[in-house]
Amino acid sequence: MLRGFYTAASGMLAMQRQQESLSNNIANANTPGYKADQATLRAFPEMLMYQMGANTIPTKQPKNLPVQNPIGSINTGVYVQEYVPNFVQGSLKDTGVSTDLALIDGAFPDETGSIFFTVQNENGEPRYTRNGNFTVDGQGFLVTTQGYYVLDQAGNPIQTNGMEFNVNPDGLLQVGGQAIPLGIAYTADANQLEKEGNGLLSGEGGAIPAGVTFTVQQGFLEQSNVDAAQTMTQMMESYRSFEMNQRVLKAYDESMGKAVSEIGRIG
């Protein structure tokens, strides 16, 4: 009976964590470049149950030999193994703002490959993002809405001296007679990147290899790839599963109460 408590409780905890992930996706449904998280559930190892018994050997002095009769397997619960971002391309929104940039995926040699803008966080470390909602700060540098510098291919902040600049489809920023290549990084396995908040990702990224094609669209933003209707349906399913495990836990609790107060009562 105690094992049933743990199984039901683990189911409730897993559904709670899945609900938190889905709620975060809904909260970022309008965040440019946001990639929805998918919670992966995994069962704890199954256990094979046996009935313990004994066989009596009819000898002059009877002996009992212990035997085990297999009953079947029992699952010991479920847990959230990890959160995996979905890096599918989001839809594009025409903003008409010159500092807004969108990455459009082309051909990737790796199934899990993806491309990102390179920015610099508050500690001066390179990070990656699909959120191209940029602006120009008071010193004329191209920055994110959080104030992080957008980097060029050499890893330097980009000086635009205003919003009058053009970006061609190949990712070349043209201003003042100069052509500055944007720091667009490629990773062969985007699932190895870790989310840090504010749309930033940390991990290994590098130069664009041969075979990778993409397009940069100025005046557009990549929208979140969260499917609000599907996410709401998943939230309802997760809530119903939580309720079912809650009922099971309550039934075990009532049975345990009877075992203590009635069966164990001394007449």
Q: How much is the CA Rg of the chain, to the nearest whole Å?
A: 29
pLDDT at 266: 56
pLDDT at 139: 94
Q: What count of other Cβ atoms lies within 10 Å of the Cβ of residue 53?
A: 11
pLDDT at 265: 60
pLDDT at 263: 64
pLDDT at 202: 94
What is the residue extent of each domain of the chain?
A: 2-83+227-263, 92-222
Question: What span, in angstroms and rounded, lies between the C-alpha atoms of 217 and 106?
Answer: 13
Is residue 144 a contact partner of residue 133, using CB atoms and an 8 Å limit? yes
The low-confidence residues of the chain, meaning pLDDT below 70, are: 1-2, 45, 47, 74-75, 263-267
According to DSSP, the residues that pair with 166 across neighbouring strands are: 174
Q: What count of other Cβ atoms lies within 10 Å of the Cβ of residue 265?
A: 7
Question: What span, in angstroms and rounded, lies between the C-alpha atoms of 196 and 205?
Answer: 15
End-to-end CA distance of the chain: 25
According to DSSP, the residues that pair with 129 across neighbouring strands are: 117
Question: What span, in angstroms and rounded, lies between the C-alpha atoms of 122 and 254?
Answer: 54
Q: What are phi and psi of 112, to 5 degrees?
A: -100, 10
Residue type for 184, please? I
pLDDT at 240: 94
